[in-house]
Chains A and B, each alone.
Chain A
Amino acid sequence: MKVLILGAGQVGRTAAFHLAREPDNEVTVVDSNEAVLRDLQSRLDVRTVAGNASFPAVLEAAGIADTDILVALTSSDEVNMVACEIAHALFRTPMKIARIRAPEYTSQERLFADGALAVDVWISPEQLVTEYIERLIRNPGALHVVDFADGRVRLVGMQARKGGLLVGQQLRTLRDHMPNADARIAAIYRNGRFIEPEGETMVEEGDEIFFVAARDNIQRMMNEITRAEEKVRKVVIAGGGHIGFRLARLLEKDFQVKLIERDVARAHSVSERLDGTIVLNGDAQDEELLIEENIDGTDVFAAVTNSEEANVLSAMLAKRLGARKVLAIVNRPSYGELMENRSIDIAVSPQTVTIGSLLAHVRKGDVVRVHSLRRGSAEALETVVHGSAERSRVVGRRIEQLDMPNGASIVALVRGERVVIAHHDTQIETEDHVIVFLSDRRQIEAVQRLFQSA
């Protein structure tokens, strides 16, 4: 598939990395900064073109004429939209994705209807990251929470701790603990290595466990894995940028939220648009400010500034001063691995959170949603099964009869409104939404081939 990426910023580079490592894709990146492009070309197998991303001549030089997907990821919403318009008007590009950050645009649904703006799909990394952190805060104890089928099914990753009912038990005992609620363990990682979950597998303290369940069963299932956490009441957000502001607005109705912003003007502008959040003007790495605002009584401290170093440092400081759980936005995967579960509780990687929504559109077959997990080494995807029993390799068959590649497993189905947790004898029907967990991302080709109807 030919992909044209506009903008080689953080999101653009990550998209290029994830797309280029799939062998079928031919990726071209356009940016106005030649130095960035040179650097990118030395690391990734992509073509680069320097120039203004919305000029037709530049787009043409980048080969838009036969591009399958245009992904406009520059830092300007307006450039992204204009580039999509031009691609549509001059080159009839079939699929146009634009990054649009301003809620002023994205809240107008009619703008993105057919015949209006030529943007087929918009993504807002800030919004995705904000919603991801919101789910983490609302599900204390979880390290990952991702949604499938409009939130009917959730995949949750968390660490097994003492006090969880399942800890020290075999997986098969799950049915005895939860006779009515259906859930399935999708993967277990012990010391960073994947273990195939079988009935006899013992759950040990410190295991990272992924499970799927219908949304309503999530909380009960979490109690299986770790002792029930205290309710979250007090949240401190460090950073009043796009993410900090949106996060405060999502949380301020249900939690006591404090937001720390360093810039005076930004603090004022944020405080005018928030209701109920206490906005503090100061530095989140200022020990006295944190103590003054009772950091030791804080349930969650979320460091979401633009600087990952500041995030890590303020989160570590908050942890030391007594915050119960701290999370920080960390861009570099190596930082995240270094920190997570040690000095900070959760390292949120914006790239990992965002990239899934792009990947869903480049995958073959009817892929609705892709979530990248464990810094890109694992993946969970939702795909719709089409076709009849004669023509498809999955329809009408039981899961145990499928030729699933190693390191991939079907964990749940959504049939209409109903959530079906996968068992070996579950039969797949046409139009089912199938949720697949890939512990080995390289099997993605095989999985796609299996689900494409012949």
Chain B
Amino acid sequence: MRSILAVVNVLGALVAIFAAFYLLPIITTLIYGETAELHVFLQSAGMSLVIGLSLLFGTRRFRAELKPRDGYLLVTMSWISITVLAAVPLMLGEPHLSFTDAFFECMSGLSTTGSTVITGLDALPHSVNLWRCALHWLGGMGIIVLAVAVLPLLGVGGMQMYRAETPGPVKDAKLTPRITETAKALWMVYAGMTAACVLALSAAGMPMFDAVCHAFSVMSLGGFSTHDASVGYFNSPLIEFVLILFMLAASMNFATHFTAFRRLDAGAYRRDPEARWMLIWLGFSVLLLTGVVYARELYPTMEESLRHAAFSAVAMATTTGFVTADFSLWPIFVSMWMLFLSCVIPCTGSTGGGIKMFRALIMIKQFFREMFVLVHPSAVAPLKIAGNVVSNRIVNSVLAFIFVYFMTVVVLVFAQLATGMDFISAFSGTIASINNAGPGLGQVGPATNYGSLSDVQTWVYALAMFLGRIELFTFLILFTPSFWRK
């Protein structure tokens, strides 16, 4: 019990910090003179601050250094409580959502999925749209990684929190000797690239407000837009091109960006096997899908086929989920291929979701290793990626992860089928949600949204998004008896 209270103490600090995040929409209300929204956001911020401070000071006596296992509890508790708090303004003010829908919307935001239940985005107050996209941005790098960067209070235990929240199989590689500095470095790269994205988008002709929102959205590989028609609203090949570039950048490992920036050496990208394979798979897929789309004569010219296929493929594969064309009308091969890509394309340490390229590479190499050992029974064959040996411990954890990943998909699909949803919607929606991609097919396709779902269906997808973002184990470990045993 004492250790839970110690976790609650840190949680209070996180919630109080989160209150400061409301400054973004509050400033927006002042710029655009949205008085009604100003009150809503001030009330919400006040609420977060009061709850945060009372948790912090109420459990002051129990303050203690967190143990490794506390990290898992803290991550789950903080993600759920911050999602609930972030949902408050969407219920109090425009668009007056129910708790279920508001929770879904904020989970979609923080987990960088980008599925929305709101229709009429174009008519929403600026501050609400900004709030949605800002949640993406915060969730992309992670609430706790931010806290570790700005708060010395997590101290040495910070590494445990960081490991529990950061996606990817290899988490021991620190960029700098101190975890605080590592977290700071990641956020600096993240913020710097976001600023670059804002400039690039407005230079490409996007209005400033849209540029900021879409930069938040693209750098976190989220997918919220300020328009119902998503990126299709702008109908600009140049904007789409800029977005493709930043989606690719954001789906690479931020540690690679950090190394490249610090040493001013583009070779860091060449030495990163994940980035290389990501580009190879994506390049091949874009050509393949362009060919299929063109062969079916969905668009009059080759250029147009390439433009739509490339944007959709990159947006889905990197788990962003921006839309320029209704790909649910394309051959099922194309949309399923894009959903498949969303499982494997994003790299470790990026803001994307899914199984991740590193795990996919390990799986493929493990397959060939098994074949090899069948031919040479006495062979000693370590699994290597780019010349570095991957220990069997990691290979096993990757195997376990992929098993749990598929079991989770199966369970969630059955849950949706039990609610009466059709198979295509249930399957594609679950894959899109657990990969934090966004649009699926059928009832949850790119032309529609998740607003038409029943409450139960909405909660199931919200769970899928949450599980996908914190990579299953961090949450599932709370349900094992050994976790709670003293």
Contacts and interface: CB of A to CB of B under 8 A. Distances in A.
Physical interaction between A and B: yes
Interface of A: 261, 264, 267-268, 270-272, 275, 278-282, 289, 292-293
Contacts of A282: 378
A44 B389 CA distance: 50
A271 B387 contact: no
13 contacts: A268-B382, A271-B382, A272-B382, A272-B384, A272-B389, A278-B379, A279-B380, A280-B378, A280-B380, A281-B378, A281-B380, A282-B378, A292-B378
Nearest to B389: A272
Nearest to A261: B380
B377 interface: yes
Contact of A280 (B379, B384, B387, B389): B379
A289 B378 contact: yes
Interface residues on B, range: 10 to 19
B302 interface: no
B381 interface: yes
B388 to A, nearest CB: 9
B376 interface: yes
A287 to B, nearest CB: 13
Nearest to A240: B380
Contacts of B379: 278-281
A40 B384 CA distance: 49
Q: Select the residue from A267, A270, A271 with max chain B CB neighbours within 10 A.
A: A271
Contact of B377 (A270, A271, A292): A292
A268 to B, nearest CB: 6
Contacts of B380: 261, 264, 267-268, 270-271, 279-281
A264 B384 CA distance: 18
Given A272-B389, A275-B387, A293 B382 contact: no
Contacts of A270: 380
Main secondary structure of the interface of B (DSSP, over half): loop
Contacts of B387: 275
The 9 closest A-B CB pairs, nearest first, are A267-B380, A280-B378, A271-B380, A282-B378, A279-B380, A272-B389, A281-B380, A272-B382, A271-B382
B373 to A, nearest CB: 11
B389 A279 contact: no
A268 B384 CA distance: 12
B378 A271 contact: no
A278 B369 CA distance: 12
Nearest to A271: B380
A272 B392 CA distance: 13
B482 to A, nearest CB: 31
Contact of A279 (B377, B381, B384): B381
Contacts of A278: 376, 379, 381
Contact of B376 (A264, A268, A272, A280): A280
Given A271-B380, A280-B379, A293-B378, 6 more contacts: A267-B380, A268-B380, A272-B384, A280-B380, A281-B378, A292-B377
Interface in B306-320: none
Contacts of B377: 292
Nearest to A282: B378
A237 B210 CA distance: 65
B300 to A, nearest CB: 49
Nearest to A293: B376
Contacts of B389: 272
A271 B379 CA distance: 9
A279 B387 CA distance: 15
Contacts of B384: 272, 275
A383 to B, nearest CB: 44
B271 to A, nearest CB: 15
A282 B378 CA distance: 7
Interface in B380-403: 380-382, 384, 387, 389
A279 to B, nearest CB: 5
Interface in B346-397: 376-382, 384, 387, 389
Nearest to A267: B380
Contacts of B376: 278, 280, 292-293
A293 B381 CA distance: 15
Q: Select the residue from A264, A270, A278, A292 with max chain B CB neighbours within 10 A.
A: A278
Contacts of A289: 378
B270 to A, nearest CB: 18
A293 B384 CA distance: 23
B372 to A, nearest CB: 8
Nearest to A283: B378
A267 B389 CA distance: 14
A319 to B, nearest CB: 21
A55 B381 CA distance: 45
Contacts of A264: 380
B245 to A, nearest CB: 34
A268 B392 CA distance: 12
A264 B376 CA distance: 16
A273 to B, nearest CB: 9
Contacts of A267: 380
Q: Select the residue from B378, B379, B384, B387 with max chain A CB neighbours within 10 A.
A: B378
A291 B381 CA distance: 20
B379 to A, nearest CB: 5
Contacts of B381: 271, 278-279
Contacts of A293: 376, 378
A323 to B, nearest CB: 17
A271 B378 CA distance: 13
A109 B247 CA distance: 45
A282 B376 CA distance: 12
Nearest to B377: A292
Contacts of A279: 379-381
A97 B250 CA distance: 56
Contacts of A280: 376, 378-380
Nearest to B387: A275
Q: Select the residue from B376, B377, B380, B382 with max chain A CB neighbours within 10 A.
A: B380
A253 to B, nearest CB: 14
A115 to B, nearest CB: 31
A279 B382 CA distance: 10
Contacts of A292: 376-378
B383 to A, nearest CB: 10
